[in-house]
Amino acid sequence: MYAILKTGGKQVKAAKDDTLIVEKIDGEPGSSVTLEEVLMVVDGANVTIGSPFVKGAKVKAEIVRQGKAKKINAFNYKPKKQVRKRWGHRQHQTHLRVLEVIGGK
């Protein structure tokens, strides 16, 4: 059984005992989180598709750690104008371990 869920503006496939890396979710490592924006639940041959979400479907997960993604470097350059600008960005992430996928109706 697995579910497709929406978190942080992205869609993620989640099955029991999977480790997911998603956009930052508030919470301390070791605490549990319930994700309720489930778009689709697949249980063998039974497929439940929501419009937009499946009613009653949830994904329970535990926060493993909070961290940052790999640094993205960016650079602006304008020829003949002495304009050179460099910057970087590291996105905040949450690592989750899926404990349970609860199917809806």
Say how far apart CA 27 and CA 35 lie, in whole Å: 13
In whole angstroms, what separates CA 16 from the centre of its chain? 15
Spans of all domains in the chain: 2-102
For the entire predicted model, the pTM comes to 0.84
pLDDT of 103: 87
Determine the average pLDDT of the residues in 34-56: 94
Is the per-residue pLDDT at 105 higher than 90? no
Is the per-residue pLDDT at 17 higher than 80? yes
pLDDT of 104: 75
Say how far apart CA 9 and CA 89 lie, in whole Å: 19
